[in-house]
Amino acid sequence: MSKTDLKKILSIAGEPGLFRFVAQANAGVIAESLSTGKRNLYGLSARLTTLSEISIYTSDQEVSLMVVFEKMRELLGESDAPLAKSSPEALKSFFETALPDYDRDRFYVSHMKKVVDWYSQLKKYASLDFEKPEEKPEDKESSTKE
C-alpha cells in the first residue's frame, strides 16, 4: 500500500468520514470518500480541512496530527484505536499514554473522538505510513557526477 499524504486527506464539515482530494473544479473541489469511494463536488462554501493542517495543543507547543498518529501507531502496533464512542475517561486515558503532555484545557474529548475515528479510517482505508514533507521526490544530484 502506498504512503498516505495527509495534504490530500480532507475532513469536510457536516460530512461523516474522511475524503481524498481528487481534483480542483471551477465550482469547488472533487473529493472521494475513503470508506465508500463515492465522489462528490464540494462547493466553494464547503469547509474543507486537510489533515496536514491540524495540530493538537500540548503544554508547550502544537503537535501535528501526523506526529500524533505516529505516536498512536507506536503505542497500538496492529491493534485498533479506542472507538470514538468510548467513554471520555477511556479516551483521556489513551491520550495520556499516547500524548502525555496534551493540553487538558484545549484538547477536548470531542477532539479526541475525531482523532481516534480518523486514525481508524486511515488504518482501514488508506495507510498509517505517511508521506513526510522531506520525502517529496526532487531532482537529486548524485555526488559521483562530474
Mention every residue, 6+ apart, whose C-beta is less than 8 A from residue 120.
80, 81, 83, 84
**Per-residue pLDDT at 67:** 97
- CATH classification code of 54-125: 1.10.10.1650
**Per-residue pLDDT at 98:** 97
**Per-residue pLDDT at 135:** 53
**Residues 62-83: pLDDT tens digits?**
999 999 999 999 999 999 999 9
**Per-residue pLDDT at 141:** 43
- Give residue 100's Cα distance to chain centre: 19
Mention every residue, 6+ apart, whose C-beta is less than 8 A from residue 48.
10, 11, 12, 13, 29, 31, 42
Q: What is the pTM of this model?
A: 0.88
Percent of the chain with pLDDT over 90: 88
Domain boundaries, the chain: 6-50, 54-125
**Per-residue pLDDT at 143:** 40
**Residues 15-58: pLDDT tens digits?**
999 999 999 999 999 999 999 999 999 999 999 999 999 999 99
**Per-residue pLDDT at 145:** 40
pLDDT interval class at 139 (50, 70, 90): very low
Order of strands across the sheet that contains 48-50: 39-43, 28-33, 18-25, 9-12, 48-50
- Report the CATH fold assignment for 6-50: SH3 type barrels. (2.30.30)
